[in-house]
Amino acid sequence: MREQVQEQEGPIRVVVDVEGIVQGVGFRPTLQLLAEAARLGGSAQNRAGSVRLVLTGPRARVEAFLETLPARCPARARIERMTRREEGPALGQGGDARFEILESEAEGGHRVSIPADLALCADCAREIHDPGSRFFGYAFTSCTHCGPRYTVVDGMPYDREQTTLRRFPLCPDCRADYKDVQNRRFHAESIACPACGPKLGLFGVDRLEHGFPSRFELIRQARRWLKDGRILAVRGMGGFQLAVDATNPGAIERLRNAKNRPCKPLAVMARDLALAQTVCRLTDSLGELLCGPERPILICELQPEAVFEGRLPLTRLSPDAPTLGVMLPTTPLHDLLFSALPGDPTPPFDWLVMTSGNRGGEPICITNEEAFERLSGIAEGFLCHDREINLRCDDSLLAERDGAAQMWRRARGYVPERLRIASPLQRTVLAMGAEWKNTIALGQGDELILSPHIGDLESPEAMDGLEQVVSHFPRYFQIEPEVVAVDRHPDIHASVLGKKLARSRGIALLEVQHHHAHARACMAEHGLAEALALVFDGTGLGTDGRIWGAELLAVNADGFQRLATFCPAPLPGGDAAVRHPARQLLARWLSLGVRPHPAWLERLGVTEKELDCWTKQIERGLNTAWSHSAGRVFDAFSVLLGQAPRTIEMEGQPAIRLESLARRAEASRVPELPFALSTRGELLEVDWGPALAPFAGRDPDQLEDPAELALAFHWALVRAGVEMVRHGRACCHGDLPVVLSGGVFMNRLLHQKMVQDLSATGARVFVHRKIPPNDGGIAVGQAMIAGGGG
Ligand SMILES: [Zn+2]
Ligand SMILES: [Zn+2]
């Protein structure tokens, strides 16, 4: 009755701009279906950064439509904001007009939204195994719910013409699907079929293409190679991966040798969730994460050994830690590699290693030519295709912490989703990130856009990757930076590039202290304007020219005050001492004035002469850096307990091994390691001398149970952290929240116990979830500080 009364008012016309994840996820087709069901007219149009929705019809129906829209979005869409632009009486017979999808509009607001890539959906997966479907066995099957987005995009708005798929004009069947409002492929920009779309190519180690009568034969051959133990380079969504049969120890060893990567963990892909659950401890929510459209790698705790013994050589997949990085098939090509199509004699695979298709610390290859060039000597076959990848995007990596996931490497599936911040930035900013695990960030208004993981900037290839993202990102998102933020360390490649950029564009430059950036990254995530930040980290240049890395900072919008740290320890030879961690333990003893028992030198492979040389270096301050870092204390204890390798293979390796050792200890029998506290002005310093010194004079073979000592060390660090925070709270006279950041907090034992013990003192503790605690999150903090965010 009420509706009838209102309908007598005559139809209205409203114009609404809808922002959020609304492009590339089937949003406009859903609007059309819903509008038609509600008997409303109007239109939907992709604009740069939003969808403009026009509705005409009786007011009550229009209002009901808008009110219920957020709940009726397609699964992968998310409305973040709806802004009414216009409202008035409908023109002409607006009440019964049709609803149409209009050509995209490139002009518009500044908020550009490029959708993230979406993993293969269940409907498409069914079709590629259905002999009756035209998508049977087709590796580029996609729809509005799945397929590449960010990685194929060239510009905005998100339309086929703006992607690398523009080279593949739709065939009549695909065009019909694209135009059919009832079809899952209605206005899906990434669609293709065997008649019109991209094709696979299989190449031998000689780079010669093998010809096949059909796509089925090609897949069959690739699967046979995997079964035979070959290392296959597979062109994925955001770059190449290297695949081997994960149940074949010989193949894993060849891959490790070829990549010169003896211990670094290798991620595996499980055929399905049920298989992953036989090896990994997965809660329902973690299982959902693995199956979700982002389909990341999740670092999992393992099931008790008996369940999987003999099926997966876990100690070769992850030699240093009792965990496994696992993911599920992401693309139709993965799915086809796992499961045999009819007529294929190779049985289904349960597990395939899927590791980054790169050499050493380089970025992953994205073009076929790059792969042929840079993966030669590693790959023993190349499964390529001709759908170009425009933007590099690694697999994302998360780990379980306190039952929920924590981001460690943010890339495919998450990029370029925006991060909302609590109070808007005062100026647009480009933040250049750190030297390791580099990412960059753009900030404007109340949004930050974090780039995908770019990597360690030590190779020319990695620098090329950084330069590409730095030149593309602002253009894609139509954000013109007013300030460039860099780390204050002058030698960091990203800082050098950032300074050059600021100079050439004549814009402001701000240098940001590394741990201040860590703190603000975690605060931004939780909308905190003020906090105490406990940052346990590897290396970062402090404001006093020393290397910091175990910092308690009181942070607000104006800056920070350093309230507590660890006493500095010498690094004779600088970075060489980080690469060869035995030096660090010995140097700590030397700086304490204690000479190690001769058996230590023998065990650590160090001569008296070297020891004398380091003593002189430390005394005279020659070629010796001093570090406050928590990561370096881990190094020293890892050496002490026989865990650190002579030369480290990757950042944090001594700490990872020390944690693995500690996990084998019985928690009830842990000795208490002493440390000393002292204050200089307001600065509290934690001295690890009392914990380390007593071991110097002892025979290394006569130590107590190393696992118990390893656990004791973890608990001592937690006690030190609690003392630092207690001191900070006393200095600040307030109940400030506490944030934990820095790469050292990727340590599970340390993270859990620190959260637990700090919470027990009454502190409100916040940890990273969406932004990495490691240097991959630095750009976010830099952007907050340089952009003047609250
Ligand atoms: Zn699909
Ligand atoms: Zn087609």
Q: What is the pLDDT at residue 8?
A: 55
Which ligand gives the minimal distance to the CA of 168?
2
284 Cα–ligand 2 center, Å: 37
d(CA 741, CA 757): 16
Q: Copy the structure tokens of residue 107.
A: 């002009």
Give Cα 132 to chain centroid, integer Å: 39
d(CA 703, CA 699): 7
Q: What is the pLDDT at residue 5?
A: 46
Listed as ranges, residues in the chain with pLDDT below 50 are: 1-7, 94-95, 108-110, 306
CB 398 within 8 A of CB 766: no
203-233 per-residue burial string, b: 16 or more CB within 10 A, e: under 16? bebeeeeeebeebbebbbbbbebbeebbbbb
Q: What is the pLDDT at residue 199?
A: 97
642: left (phi > 0), else alpha (psi -120 to 50), else beta? Answer: left
Q: What is the pLDDT at residue 550?
A: 98
CB 652 within 8 A of CB 631: yes
Q: What is the pLDDT at residue 6?
A: 47
Q: What is the pLDDT at residue 305?
A: 66
Q: Which amino acid is at 12?
A: I
Cα distance from N-terminal residue to C-terminal residue, the chain: 50
Q: What is the pLDDT at residue 708?
A: 95
> Which tens digits make up the pLDDT trace of 695-722?
999 999 888 899 999 999 999 999 999 9
CB 634 within 8 A of CB 654: yes
389 Cα–ligand 1 center, Å: 19
> Which tens digits make up the pLDDT trace of 401-416?
998 999 999 999 999 9
Dihedral (Cα; 425, 153, 772, 76), 10-degree rounding? 90
d(CA 319, CA 339): 28
Q: Which residue in this structure is represented by tokens 């790959």?
A: 379
335 Cα–ligand 2 center, Å: 20
51 Cα–ligand 2 center, Å: 27
CB 165 within 8 A of CB 152: yes
74 Cα–ligand 2 center, Å: 24
136 Cα–ligand 2 center, Å: 12
Which ligand gives the minimal distance to the CA of 143?
1
Quick one: DSSP state of residue 123? Answer: H
Q: What is the pLDDT at residue 609?
A: 93
CB 267 within 8 A of CB 331: no
180 Cα–ligand 2 center, Å: 14
Closest CA to 367 of 244, 464, 509: 464
45 Cα–ligand 1 center, Å: 22
Number of Cβ atoms within 10 Å of the Cβ of 697: 12
442 Cα–ligand 2 center, Å: 37
> CA separation (Å) from 85 to 51, 60, 541?
12, 18, 49
Beta strands at 382-385 and 200-203: parallel, antiparallel or unpaired: antiparallel
Q: What is the pLDDT at residue 94?
A: 46
Q: What is the pLDDT at residue 54?
A: 94
Which ligand gives the minimal distance to the CA of 26?
1
137 Cα–ligand 2 center, Å: 14
Q: Which amino acid is at 210?
A: H
> CA separation (Å) from 255 to 245, 246, 259, 502?
11, 11, 6, 42
CB 514 within 8 A of CB 500: no
Q: What is the pLDDT at residue 90?
A: 77
Beta strands in 341-396 (DSSP E): 351-356, 382-385
d(CA 251, CA 379): 11
Instruction: List % helix, strand, coil for the chain (3-state, nearest 5).
Output: 35, 25, 40
d(CA 152, CA 157): 13
| Whole-number CA gyration radius for the chain | 28
Which ligand gives the minimal distance to the CA of 197?
2
Bridge partners of residue 553, in order along the sequence: 533, 562
Q: Which amino acid is at 172?
A: P
723 Cα–ligand 1 center, Å: 53
Q: Copy the structure tokens of residue 294.
A: 């982002």
157-183 per-residue burial string, b: 16 or more CB within 10 A, e: under 16? bbbbebbbbeebebbeebeebbeeeeb
> Which tens digits make up the pLDDT trace of 441-466?
999 999 999 999 999 998 888 999 99
Q: Which residue in this structure is represented by tokens 């035995």?
A: 582
196 Cα–ligand 2 center, Å: 4
Closest CA to 133 of 87, 82, 174, 161: 174
Quick one: DSSP state of residue 268? Answer: E
Q: Which residue in this structure is represented by tokens 């001709």?
A: 386
User: What 3 state SS string does 491-543 have?
Assistant: CCHHHHHHHHHHHHHCCEEEEECHHHHHHHHHHHHCCCCCEEEEEEEEEEECC
